[in-house]
Chain A
Amino acid sequence: KAGVTQTPRYLIKTRGQQVTLSCSPISGHRSVSWYQQTPGQGLQFLFEYFSETQRNKGNFPGRFSGRQFSNSRSEMNVSTLELGDSALYLCASSLGGSRTQRGAYEQYFGPGTRLTVT
């Protein structure tokens, strides 16, 4: 079974630009979560999508947005990039089933997109 894939793997942008990152989850997984990882802040939760709806959201400004398509693939967009947005952006997929279904929330991560803002 193929794992979570993310594209592109590396990206260099300048301040003020916008960027779109893509994530393809494991086949059969309906939940996709996005995280930002930096040396200073560690792994921070951005948002989660389930069945094309944002189900949960972290504490990030509105410049960070996302969406999920009917095939569960997800995109994340960052507008008006700032230097502090330089980070490894990770996508994780899970089954995302019912509250009582054990294993439904085990997240499997992709390799990440390394974004550098200059």
Chain B
Amino acid sequence: EDQVTQSPEALRLQEGESSSLNCSYTVSGLRGLFWYRQDPGKGPEFLFTLYSAGEEKEKERLKATLTKKESFLHITAPKPEDSATYLCAVQAWNNDMRFGAGTRLTVKP
């Protein structure tokens, strides 16, 4: 069965303290791996799509990477406004979409 596991569940950082979030997955044929950001009471906001191992995408302080078994979301010099829950999702070739439980990131000023 397809599975997505995100770690850690929660992460507290000081402003400027870089770190990484992990998304491990097993899927029968990967169509794409997606990263989203979700603020409380709102719908997830699309960040990145990664399609194949070795691919990297960047946006401001965020960088997403992909291997055959996991993806990392690197946050460089985070700011308090980066505080949110970050969700990872994988889509199989049969269109099945599965989300991880998310990592709740808090960045203290």
Chain A positions near chain B (C-beta within 8 angstroms) = 4, 33, 35, 42-45, 48, 55-56, 90, 92, 99, 102-103, 105-112, 114
Contact = CB atoms under 8 A, between A and B. Distances in A.
A56 B95 contact: yes
Interface centre among B95, B99, B101 (most CB of A within 10 A): B95
B49 interface: yes
B86 to A, nearest CB: 13
Interface residues of B, number: 25
B96 A56 contact: yes
11 contacts: A4-B43, A33-B97, A43-B99, A48-B95, A56-B95, A106-B32, A106-B34, A107-B46, A107-B97, A109-B46, A114-B41
A interface majority secondary structure? strand
Interface string B30-73: 01101010000111111001010000000000000000000000
B101 A107 contact: no
Interface string B91-109: 1011111111110000000
